[in-house]
Amino acid sequence: MTADLQPPAQVLNCAGRSVDLSRPHVMGILNVTPDSFSDGGRFLHLDSSLRHVAEMVAAGASFIDVGGESTRPGAAAVSISEELDRVIPVIDAIVREFDVVVSIDTSKAEIIRAAATAGAGLINDVRALREAGALEAAADTALPLCLMHMQGQPADMQNSPNYYNVVADVLAFLEKRIAACETVGIDRSRIVIDPGFGFGKTAEHNLQLLNRMSEFVQTGFPILVGLSRKSLLGKITGRDVEQRLAGGVAAAALAVTKGARIIRAHDVPATIDAVKVAQAMIRESVDE
């Protein structure tokens, strides 16, 4: 990777915690759902959630991404009250017990506001703040946020993904959502972008996005990438979801060499190692 592909250094102010994006970070996934595609039901109880958070933080995760509604293909919608019941006690507990940024994985304005009040430091929205009131809620929190591209909705997004030019189309969508953020007073320095691997894309679309990530880097916005355990890895390797660790860490390392700043992952310890190796290759030096 050449130096001109490196995104500009940027520090995110995540509810009082500073995250320096001049180096890549790992975001550990905590799904407090019964139906997420690879870990549904494992962390529904607070004690099991916090044990998992402790493991991810000890391994070096900079963010813990808490989600209370599955966005896997065909996932059922969850009510506001149920999502609140799932995520707010967990966020409260993580903020009290761990020195880590909590990210809230949601699209609902009510959840955004409640999570920010509970101490969340980042908003991670697969719908890029397109739901009613979400833009205004995000603006009011003053938190940084991640805008992700998704074609369609989780219920139908993988039925027949179609693009004229997947990279150009995704970039155009993200540019429109960035402009929408600016209209409500969200500064560009608060924005992270995510191409949305696996969200309304074929395997070929995903590979094109990964291979041409330099075009996303050139926007100047930090890039978040989520490839962990995705179906793309299954199609490449032929392995079931629980057997995609090697493929996931390979994809994480590739994403870092192509300019990703935040890697969202289920398998945090192995992903941390992959990110360190990729970063050492980029710098041609080893951090002491």
Residue tagged active-site, from 229, 258, 264, 276: 264
Higher pLDDT, 286 or 209: 209
The mean pLDDT of the chain is 90
Among 196, 193, 128, residue whose Cα is nearest residue 161: 196
Taking the C-alpha atoms of residue 105 and residue 102, their distance in angstroms, rounded to an integer, is 10
Q: From residue 120, give the alpha-carbon distance in Å to each of 51, 111, 114, 162, 186.
A: 19, 11, 9, 35, 17
Residues 87-102, mean pLDDT to the nearest whole number: 96
264 flagged as catalytic? yes
Closest CA to 249 of 275, 225, 212: 275
Summarised one tens digit per residue, pLDDT across range 160-209 is 778 989 999 999 999 999 999 999 999 999 999 999 998 989 999 999 99
- Non-local (6+) Cβ contacts of 14 within 8 A are 101, 121, 122, 143, 144
Asked whether the predicted pLDDT for residue 253 surpasses 50, the reply is yes
Sign of the CA dihedral with 141 first, then 143, 149, and 153 last: negative
Segment 1-29, tens digit of pLDDT: 333 444 455 899 999 999 999 999 999 99
User: How high is the pLDDT of residue 154?
Assistant: 66
230 is catalytic: yes
Domains of the chain: 3-283 (3.20.20.20)
| Active-site residue, from 230, 244, 258, 261 | 230
3-state secondary structure 161-194: CCCCCHHHHHHHHHHHHHHHHHHCCCCHHHEEEE
- The span from the CA of 226 to the CA of 248, in Å, is 9
Tell me the C-alpha distance between 110 and 81, whole Å.
9
At residue 151 the predicted structure's pLDDT band, cuts being 50, 70 and 90, is confident
